[in-house]
Amino acid sequence: MAASENKTVPAEQGFVYWPLIAGWLVPGAGHFLLRKWGRGALLALAIVGMFVLGIAMQGELYTSASDILHVLGLAGDLGNGLLYFVSRFAGIGANAVQVTTADYGTRFIVVAGLLNVIAAVDAHNLKTGRKPL
């Protein structure tokens, strides 16, 4: 018990939210900040890959919060951080689902955002010592 408690003591103080913010903005960046290169690369590959696959399937990027489903979809999409904003400004992504695979693509994009949030929180936990480095 004592050994596991020692592991979770924060190694550094200061502003501990940089990995969380960086990880949200750029998938894997939170782990890169903590010099977890392998984990960061795998997370980036998985999340960016999922987002790109969603776009390639003509998935829809949620742009409005007109009803509850759109609110939830928008919340998921926002988890992608800069990927979402850059895609919005570049006009990438379908405005409406028109083929079957586009529906899958829309889900891929939303889930990529949610996974990115999980990854960013994991980086934050590593930083604070809640999870052993």
Partner 1 sequence: MFSPSHFTAVLLFALCASVVFGITQRETPRRMMRYGLYCFALFVGSVVVLSWVMYLIAR
Q: Which residues are near partner 1 by CB under 8 A?
A: 39, 42-43, 45-47, 49-50, 53, 56-58, 99, 101, 104, 107-108, 111-112, 115, 118-119, 121-122, 131-132
Of 56, 57, 53, residue with least CA distance to 100: 57
- Collapsing DSSP to helix, strand or coil, 60 comes out as strand
Which is closer to partner 1, CB of 74 or CB of 119?
119
**Cβ neighbour number for residue 84 with a 10 Å cutoff:** 22
What CA–CA distance (Å, rounded) separates 8 from 21? 21
Which is closer to partner 1, CB of 74 or CB of 110?
110
Which is closer to partner 1, CB of 74 or CB of 117?
117
